[in-house]
Amino acid sequence: MRTIISLCFLLIITNVFGQVNCDSLFNLADKSYEEKGAKEAITFFTKIITLKCPNLSLAYNNRGFMFNEIEDYKSAIADFENAIKFDSLNHEAYANESTSYNMLDNSLMATILINKAIKLDTNNYQYYKLRGDIKYSEEKFDSAIINYKKSISLKRDYLQLYTLIARIYEEKNRTAIKEANNIDSSIKKDFNQLTFASSFYRNRDSAEAILTLLVERFPQNKLLIFNRAEFYRRNFLYDKAIPDYLQGLNDNKEKNKKEESLSNLANCYDGIGDYNNAIKYYTESIRVKPNVIAFANRGRRYKKLNNFKQAISDEENAIKLDSTYAQAYLIIGNCYLEMKQRKKALEYFKKGLAQNPKGEIKDLLEMQLSKVE
């Protein structure tokens, strides 16, 4: 009798300590992921699985998530499959496996799995976002928008999705323009195709409306203002982009983002023919972060104002930062031509061609060289 009691007590103690050990391993795995990353966490989840701890479905799912993090999608899929074997109602495992397949460009399996996850948890806003991502990768833009809007209905402050929807409208706009341009002249009489293309083009207004609504709703969010400015600039609406860039610059302390905003603001002023303001903001951009493009762009604007010496100085600075930047040699050569210094012009056209440029720049350098020689 005493032997039986002792054995029972031993089993209880073993189970209790085993549970404690498993719990501590789960905690260590989470902590190591936060402090050292996914690879370290995989080690702990592997120990949990080896010990056959309770809730193996969670362990396999978490390790699979870590494999996704390090882009080992095949190992991740194997773990998610095991997670589902231990718990067929583990909707997170279905969703995570869907992500793995999507990263492997298998949108069919990704869709099947995310549909299962949504069936098990119909109110999970992240799952609709994931299904939207799959449809976006398939260029099924209307379906992507439907899923993103469903996600927003479940989480109203999901700002990223508003921006994604706006980008889809932009993508549809670009696709429409490309399709319209590619339509052969003999087919241009086909009214239906042209109407199809132009209907996408009109969605630019929808994208603008969404971004404006967001800016009004979240006026302190500088990223939204920057995104709207970028949208306006890419659609050549420079007059609208300029105020947004100026507003965003006031509170933007991130160096790279500020430099990008200043350069884009300068490009917008250039787009409306205000070269003095373009030069002003290229100068501000250079102060924040000196770079080849800013020097080269400012040099071109000085040339447009017939300030050839300053233009040459800027293009020389661009060359100091990147000696292979053939366009700078072209601008300098053209400046010397304007100044009636043909030998100097010839020198820089040759230097530009020595950088082995391609496309339009090569053609322009060769054309200018033939004029001087």
Query: What does pLDDT average to over the chain?
Result: 81
pLDDT for the residue numbered 205: 64
Question: What Cα–Cα distance (Å) separates residue 237 from each residue in 109, 231, 246, 330?
Answer: 41, 8, 15, 29
For the stretch 79-129, pLDDT in tens is 999 999 999 999 999 999 999 999 998 999 999 999 999 999 999 999 999
Whether 233 contacts 267, CB under 8 Å = yes
pLDDT for the residue numbered 274: 95
> How many angstroms separate the CA atoms of 278 and 11, rounded?
79
Residue 196 has pLDDT above 50, yes or no: no
Who wins on pLDDT, 39 or 77?
Answer: 77
Whether 329 contacts 365, CB under 8 Å = yes
> How many angstroms separate the CA atoms of 93 and 76, rounded?
10
> How many angstroms separate the CA atoms of 333 and 347, rounded?
8
First-last CA distance in the chain: 112
pLDDT for the residue numbered 254: 62
> How many angstroms separate the CA atoms of 11 and 9, rounded?
5
pLDDT for the residue numbered 24: 81
Instruction: Tell me the residue type at 142.
Output: D
For the stretch 249-282, pLDDT in tens is 876 556 667 888 899 999 999 999 999 999 999 9
> How many angstroms separate the CA atoms of 211 and 60, rounded?
41
72 by DSSP, 3-state: which? coil
For the stretch 211-230, pLDDT in tens is 777 777 777 777 778 888 88
Structure token digits, residue 236? 């050549």
pLDDT for the residue numbered 204: 63
CA-based nearest residue to 327, from 365, 275, 366: 365
Is pTM beyond 0.85? Reply is no
Instruction: Tell me the residue type at 114.
Output: I
Q: How confident is the model at residue 35 (pLDDT cuts 50, 70, 90)?
A: confident
Residue 10 has pLDDT above 70, yes or no: no
Can you say how many angstroms the Cα of residue 328 is from the centroid of all Cα atoms in its chain? Answer: 29
CA-based nearest residue to 276, from 304, 248, 234: 304
pLDDT for the residue numbered 1: 42
Range in 5-14, 195-204, 339-348 the model is least confident about:
5-14
> How many angstroms separate the CA atoms of 168 and 144, rounded?
8
Q: How confident is the model at residue 26 (pLDDT cuts 50, 70, 90)?
A: confident
